[in-house]
Amino acid sequence: MNARMVIRRFGGGLLVLWLVSLVTFLMVQMIPGDPAEVIAGEHATVAQVNEIREKLGLNRPVIEQYFSWLGGVLHGDLGKSLFSNRPVTATIIEAAPPTLALALAAIVFAVILGVGTGVIAGLRQGSLIDRLVSTLATLGIAMPSFWAAMLLVSIFSLSLKWLPATSYVPIEDGFGLWLSHIMIPAIALGLATAAELARHTRGCVADVLTRPYIRTARSRGATTSRLIRRHVLRNAAIPVITVLGLQTSRLLGGAIVVEAVVGISGLGTLAVNSVLSRDYPVIQGYVLFCAVVVVALNLIVDLAYGWINPKVRTS
């Protein structure tokens, strides 16, 4: 992929981040209630509430508040929490590892299960395995992640007692211990993505197998493994990567619900608590952080196109 295209994609990503920051700031301002009243308490006087609002800068015009906050963002400062008075950047960095670990484990699980079963089903169209994969994929897409999490906890934690039901253990405390705690929420979060990947991979593989170059390769005596490795997987990968990029973005939203079910204190818990307490700076910082992750994922997907398909590099 040429440098001009990378610069263009990067510039588009910066524009998206600016729009997200603007829309988020304006929407947060429309949340009912006054955080100064929440901080002051039920029995505070009007003078006390006004004093808090002035101290926090909430009495300034909205546009002035926005540009003041944006100036801090450009210098890596997302402001301070209205309640804990801690830097928002430090708060997000502290809450991010469990959520990012959960999302990464869910992606790995989804890719292994979804792409693997999709390739097998695509190579055996019309067989019992193909019908079984298609049926299970439909069920996986329809299954809510929170319900899957509760079902897995009920079976593997409460009944069989194989895995812990709640909490999160950092990977620094041991890979085996971390894996045992992350497995249930990762599977619950990644099931729908695995099902979506399986369906798309199956369709893409089946479509590639009908192309003329596949018949030509077979006529030249190409083995099945070589055919799959050099022709089928590479040509079926672009649509699958697109779906993976879209599904990965959605995992951040689904992680909020799964974290609540299994008792993981990550970005989801931080977001919910911030909304309930009307902690504007933390809400804005959280949304901007998620936007940066999504934009980065989209850029990676674009770069992957150029690596897989040489035509994209020259187009």
Centre a 10 Å sphere on the Cβ of residue 133 and count the other Cβ atoms it contains.
25
Cα distance between residue 226 and residue 296, in whole Å? 33
Please write the tens of the pLDDT for every residue from 272-288: 888 888 788 898 899 89
The answer, yes or no, to whether residue 118 has pLDDT greater than 60, is yes
Cα distance between residue 156 and residue 181, in whole Å? 12
Q: What is the pLDDT, as a whole number, of residue 248?
A: 78
Please write the tens of the pLDDT for every residue from 189-227: 999 999 999 998 998 888 888 888 888 887 887 777 778
Q: What is the pLDDT, as a whole number, of residue 312?
A: 57
What one-character-per-residue DSSP string does 96-148 give?
HHHHHHHHHHHHHHHIIIIIHHHHHHHHTTTSHHHHHHHHHHHHHHHS-HHHH
Q: What is the pLDDT, as a whole number, of residue 32?
A: 73
The answer, yes or no, to whether residue 246 has pLDDT greater than 60, is yes
Q: What is the pLDDT, as a whole number, of residue 218?
A: 79
Higher local confidence (pLDDT), 286 or 38: 286
Question: pLDDT band at residue 37, thresholds of 50, 70 and 90?
Answer: confident
Q: What is the pLDDT, as a whole number, of residue 113?
A: 93
Q: Are 287 and 31 in contact (CB under 8 A)?
A: no
Cα distance between residue 193 and residue 290, in whole Å? 18
Q: Evaluate whether the domain defined by 97-266 bears CATH number 1.10.3720.10.
A: yes
Question: pLDDT band at residue 263, thresholds of 50, 70 and 90?
Answer: confident
